[in-house]
Amino acid sequence: MDTNNGSSTTDFILLGFSDRPQLERIISGLVFIFYIVTLVGNTTIILVSYLDAQLHTPMYFFLSNLSFLDLCYATSIIPQMLVNLWGPTRSITYGGCVLQFFFALDLGSAECLLLAVMAYDRYAAVCQPLHYTVIMHPQLCQKMVLTAWLGGLGSALILCSLTLKLPRCGHRDMDTFYCEMPALIKMACVYSKVMEIIVFALGVVFLLVPLSLILISYGVITQAVVRIKSEARWRKVLNTCGSHLTVVTLFYGTVIYMYMNQQNTTSQDEGKLLTLFYTIITPTLNPLIYTLRNKDVKSAVKRTLCVEKRSAKS
């Protein structure tokens, strides 16, 4: 087996900002810090949602699933990214690239659907408060989450199998930080009209349709909020809905710009920075947005910590 700089000819080379070593050192430090915050923040939300009985509601069931998605998504990308940034080589094995590509697609697609499910939950809570517990019963919540996970899995299986069948003609270098679909398609030495149509169709299904449903939900919610006379309830609605809407804006904004924008309008450096944003910064910000804007979560964290302290003393 031929090798080049210690890497197999079947490996891929992730270039990143290899032509700017000083910038890469800064990026590696920031990535490490963001990853630690991602681990701590999302794990905290999952544990608190599970341990605190007051958070055993549909909203926090969906939120804990979102945190788990973000945790898995970041972990599927960042450790390998740090190895490449800190190590002597920038290679990733073919198998490692396939797994990274598959899980990133799976989890990213599932998150698109889950954010739409969470918007429907907020619609039911604000616009149908008297029937909320009947509408969002546990079985329905579980089915909606399962649908999001299975939808992401189906999307990943289709796109991953089609992308990996494209001939690369010996191309190994990817001008990015991890094995993502645009970079792998760009490596292909043939043009596939079928691939382009399928990518566009799935982009509509997993990006534009969920986003449209989210916007419709929040349009109806906005009308309901205007009619709310209680200032306390009005503020609570704005806090919970505002957190979700902020997460939606960050996630969908960057992903749609990356995947639906024409390639010739996005520079390489701009594309890499956007990749870093939605793969690293967004999973970090999600738990911070929900905890900083949500009194219920902050109170639950305090209660959980107090219980642990009392248990430790006894």
Q: Which residues contact 312 (CB under 8 A, 6 or more apart)?
A: none
Cα(5)–Cα(260) distance, integer angstroms = 36
Q: Where are the beta strands (DSSP E) in the chain?
A: 3-4, 7-8, 12-14, 91-92, 173-174
Q: Which pLDDT value is given to residue 9?
A: 56
Cα(314)–Cα(311) distance, integer angstroms = 5
| Structure-token pair, residue 144 | 């909606």
Q: Specify the pairing of strand 173-174 against strand 12-14.
A: parallel
Q: Which residues contact 21 (CB under 8 A, 6 or more apart)?
A: none
Q: How many CA atoms lie within 13 A of 181 on its CB side?
A: 27
The single-letter code of the amino acid at 107 is: L
Whole-prediction pTM: 0.85
CA distances from 131 to 58, 85, 124, 127, 136 (A): 13, 52, 8, 9, 9
| Structure-token pair, residue 132 | 């909320």
Of 160, 184, 39, nearest to 99 by C-alpha is: 160
Q: Which pLDDT value is given to residue 69?
A: 94
The stretches in the chain having pLDDT less than 50 are: 1-7, 262, 264-265
Cα(54)–Cα(52) distance, integer angstroms = 5
Cα(172)–Cα(9) distance, integer angstroms = 8
| Structure-token pair, residue 27 | 């990026």
Select from 1.20.1070.10, 1.10.10.10, 3.40.50.720, 1.10.3720.10 the CATH code of 3-305.
Answer: 1.20.1070.10
CA distances from 232 to 59, 229, 235, 268 (A): 19, 9, 5, 47
For the chain, the average pLDDT equals: 82
The single-letter code of the amino acid at 78 is: I
**Backbone dihedral angles phi then psi of residue 180, each to the nearest 5 degrees:** -110, 160
Domain boundaries, the chain: 3-305
Q: Which pLDDT value is given to residue 268?
A: 66
Task: Summarize pLDDT for 285-298 with one digit per residue, the tens.
Answer: 888 887 766 677 77
Give 174's strand partners. 14
Task: Summarize pLDDT for 5-59 with one digit per residue, the tens.
Answer: 444 556 888 887 777 778 878 888 998 999 999 999 899 889 988 888 888 899 8
Cα(139)–Cα(97) distance, integer angstroms = 36
